[in-house]
Amino acid sequence: MMTDLAPPEILEKIEADADALVGRAFVSIAAEYFAQTRARADRVSTAHPPAELSARFDEPAPRAGRSLESILTRLRSDVLPDSNHLCHPRYVGHQIAGPLPAAVWTEPITAALNQSLAVFEMSPVGTVLEHRVISWMCDLAGFATGSGGTLTSGGTEATFTALLAARGAVLPDAWAIGVGADPPVMLCGEHAHYAVTRAAAELGLGLRNVLPIRSRDHKMDPDALRQALDQLRSSGKRVMAVVATAGSTATGSFDDLHAIAGLCDDHGVWLHVDAAHGGSALLSARHRHLLRGVERARSVAWDPHKMMLIPSQAGMLLVRNERDLDAAFSQRAPYLFQGNDGERVWDQGTRNFACSRRADVFKVWVALLRYGIDGLAELHDYFCDLARVVWEEVVERPDFEAMHEPESNILCFRYVGDRSLDDEALDQLNRELRERYNLSGHGWITATNLDGRRVLRVTMMNPRTTVSDVRDILDGLAMVARSL
Ligand SMILES: *Cc1c(COP(=O)(O)O)cnc(C)c1O
């Protein structure tokens, strides 16, 4: 018997690391990052290609542990400078946030507690808080009692989960026997996020059973949807779901949910709204009208890690009827889940793909407590106003051209110089321009293909970006463009 088994020697080090001073040393690196980026002095991103960055870390896995000082030094010198500085005021790129500090400071607590959302017994407070936050968000969406949902890793998982639930509603036996040789079809706007087509493939429907509906002004054309649904009805084809987009990835446009919900009601079809990006408009008295009709959807994907500026991961799926989500995962693991018949199951593991799952709800809850719906709405409205400022500047300047008027916080535009180049040459120029500009370190933007053209794209979701930053970014782009 090993009755004299001593504690592991490493425990001493672990206990020393648990001290608040050590914690503060790590946290102060994050605080330095917040301060440095505020000052605009640093580059927005790296100019090093992957091979160079990779060489920096090219060493064997350490056999012996190292000193905290050496690790903190490496975080400062090797990690921070060449990461993307989303908190830099001239970062206006992808739809991922320079995160809200109160939510960031919650992360060490979430990690320390390490609750798992699979079952109530593993996360007593985490589970009830997840239900609480979901319930707040359901209220904002206009869902009544009986609604529910789950946090997810993001919009991709939220939409996948929603479509799994929709599949269960149309094909209750699919869980046991698969989708068969004649699966139902799904309809979505031609501009829908790839999460939608990906889900169709993952769920066994196959890509060919996704019918894209053409857009008008970058939004699903309800007349085209009506025609498609009528045609499917007369041909006897089953329809699993219609997916509408609230805040499209390319242009931030909102489908007409009210009209689409009406058609889905007429045809008895599941409406899923991908509001991963645009859901946060529900926080804003000025912008919530963009989602009119969302309360008639059966499921809604809404990412707090987009316009609510929560550090990832924090995605969310809301369902009008919690039972839809229960039915989606009709698998039962009796060793984990024990709901008595008729009693509401608190365990969220029956409503989510994951088994172990972080209590990401803590940081969402803290952000809501700290900044309030009004604070987050103020941010949301500022981002939309800022996108309008970019649009006005672009329209005013002869060397740029706007591709659309912004409906939210995203704008696509392109550099046209003296307008002597044709479209193909401009595609090439704008492609190169974006790469060169981002490498310069001055700012960071994205690009996309829109209506067949290569265009520049900015997402305004950085509270530090000012009107003068917007002008600086356009000046910076023009300067790089002239050098090409
Ligand atoms: C961001 C986004 C997604 C994907 O969400 P993730 O959180 O990145 O998984 C899906 N749809 C839309 C409209 C989005 O903006």
Q: pLDDT per position in the chain (484 positions), as tens?
A: 677 899 999 999 999 999 999 999 999 999 999 999 999 989 999 999 999 999 999 999 999 999 999 999 999 999 999 999 999 999 999 999 999 999 999 999 999 999 999 999 999 999 999 999 999 999 999 999 999 999 999 999 999 999 999 999 999 899 999 999 999 999 999 999 999 999 999 999 999 999 999 999 999 999 999 999 999 999 999 999 999 999 999 999 999 999 999 999 999 999 999 999 999 999 999 999 999 999 999 999 999 999 999 999 999 999 999 999 999 987 655 555 555 556 778 999 999 999 999 999 999 999 999 999 999 999 999 999 999 999 999 999 999 999 999 999 999 999 999 999 999 999 999 999 999 999 999 999 999 999 999 999 999 999 999 999 999 999 999 999 999 9
Q: Are 184 and 208 in contact (CB under 8 A)?
A: no
Residue 96 CB less than 6 A away from ligand 1 = no
With a 6 Å cutoff on the Cβ, whether 276 touches ligand 1 is yes
Strands 239-245 and 315-319: unpaired
Sheet order of strands, 400-402 included: 400-402, 410-415, 453-459, 446-450
What secondary structure letter does DSSP report for 57?
A: T
Round to whole Å and give the CA distance between 350 and 88.
Answer: 40
Distance 181 CA to ligand 1 centre (A): 30
How far, in Å, CA of 189 to CA of 328, rounded?
24
Distance 199 CA to ligand 1 centre (A): 13
CA-nearest residue for atom 5, ligand 1, is 155
With a 6 A CB cut-off, is 245 part of the ligand 1 pocket? yes
Determine the residue type at 270: W
pLDDT at 338: 54
Question: Does residue 255 have its Cβ closer than 6 Å to ligand 1?
Answer: no
Q: What does the buried/exposed string (b/e) look like for 1-27 if buried means 16 or more CB atoms within 10 Å of the residue's CB?
A: eeeeeeeeeeeeeeeeeeeeeeeeeee
Query: What gap in Å lies between CA 294 and CA 256, rounded to an integer?
Result: 10
Whether ligand 1 lies within 6 angstroms of the CB of 295 is answered as no
Q: Pinpoint the alpha helices (H) of 277-360.
A: 322-328
Ligand 1 atom nearest to CA at 192: 13
Question: For a substitution probing ligand 1, which of 197, 245, 249 has the most ligand atoms within 8 Å of its CB?
Answer: 249
> Which CA distances in Å does 418 have to 31, 44, 397, 431?
44, 29, 11, 17
Between CA 186 and CA 227 the distance in angstroms is 14
Residue type, 54: S
| Bond prior to 313 in cis (omega within 30° of 0) | yes
Dig out the tokens for 217 from the structure. Answer: 């002004």
- Does ligand 1 come within 6 angstroms of the Cβ of 154? yes
Q: Give Cα separations from 443 to 76, 246, 380, 401 (angstroms).
A: 21, 28, 21, 19
